[in-house]
């Protein structure tokens, strides 16, 4: 019989997975933000953007906002995985008698709840990360720190300012995460890995 992970083990596993994944793709996040904020004709494409950032600002520019990103992804990924597995296993123990397959709708509901919890816990740090990346794209703009940006948002926009843009983010992330979990569970079944 397979041993089930405890909630703190799920939290650590999710956090580590999120931190490793984000660290490996973070320069692409910076490029995405710069490409989205560019002036017409500023870059001929993604490679041109990367070359110009490297030449003008150095390698460190590809890691603007990295600290708030890591501080955000660790709780997000940890909470997301821990809540998802906990809800799914609770459903299986209560309602699944002869099957380890909760079905697509239960998986989607668990993914929606887990993603919502993770987003609420980590969104302010994602907002600060994006603003730090955007600030770095403005020539001559003063360099801002994570803590000074937090203070500025709280002072000028209040606590709700830390959640600006949350609704569109939910519209993007919740379906993506929920679908990912459905695919994840179906692949586990295909590969013969047990959930319980």
Distance separating alpha carbons of residues 166 and 23, to the nearest angstrom: 23
Tens digit of each residue's pLDDT (9 = 90 or more) over 44-73: 999 999 999 999 999 999 998 898 889 888
Neighbour tally for 39: CB within 10 Å? 7
When pLDDT is averaged across residues 93-113 and rounded to a whole number, the result is 85
Tens digit of each residue's pLDDT (9 = 90 or more) over 23-45: 999 999 999 989 988 888 899 99
Looking at per-residue pLDDT, the higher value among 101 and 61 belongs to 61
The answer to whether 118 and 181 are in contact (CB under 8 A) is: no
DSSP designation for 96: -
The answer to whether residue 1 scores a pLDDT higher than 70 is: no
DSSP H or E stretch at residue 173: helix 166-191
When pLDDT is averaged across residues 180-189 and rounded to a whole number, the result is 84
Phi-psi region of 140 (alpha: psi -120 to 50; beta: other; left: phi over 0): left
Neighbour tally for 98: CB within 10 Å? 4
Q: Which domains does the chain have, with CATH numbers?
A: 7-191 (1.50.40.10)
* 78: nearest Cα among 17, 125, 166: 17
Mean pLDDT computed over every residue of the chain: 88
Give the CB-side neighbour count of residue 153, counting CA atoms within 13 A.
21
Distance separating alpha carbons of residues 90 and 55, to the nearest angstrom: 53
The answer to whether residue 196 scores a pLDDT higher than 60 is: no
Q: What local confidence, expressed as pLDDT, does residue 157 receive?
A: 96
Tens digit of each residue's pLDDT (9 = 90 or more) over 146-169: 999 999 999 999 999 999 999 998
Q: What local confidence, expressed as pLDDT, does residue 161 receive?
A: 95
């Amino acid at each position: 019989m397979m041993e089930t992970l405890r909630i703190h083990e799920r939290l650590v596993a999710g956090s580590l997975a999120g931190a490793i994944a984000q660290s490996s793709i973070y320069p692409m996040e910076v490029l995405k933000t710069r490409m989205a904020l560019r002036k017409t004709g500023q870059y001929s494409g993604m490679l041109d953007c990367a070359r110009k950032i490297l030449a003008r600002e150095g390698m460190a520019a590809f890691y603007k906002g990295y600290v708030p990103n890591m501080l955000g992804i660790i709780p997000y990924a940890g909470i997301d995985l821990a809540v998802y597995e906990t809800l799914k296993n609770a459903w299986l123990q209560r309602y699944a008698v002869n099957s380890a397959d909760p079905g697509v709708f239960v998986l989607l509901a668990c993914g929606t709840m887990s993603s919502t919890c993770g987003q609420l816990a980590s969104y302010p740090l994602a907002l600060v990360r994006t603003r730090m990346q955007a600030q770095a794209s403005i020539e001559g703009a003063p360099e801002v720190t994570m803590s000074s940006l937090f203070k500025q948002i709280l002072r000028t926009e209040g606590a709700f300012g830390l959640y600006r843009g949350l609704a569109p983010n939910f519209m993007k992330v919740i379906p993506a995460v929920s679908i990912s979990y459905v695919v994840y569970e179906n692949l586990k079944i295909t590969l013969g890995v047990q959930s319980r």
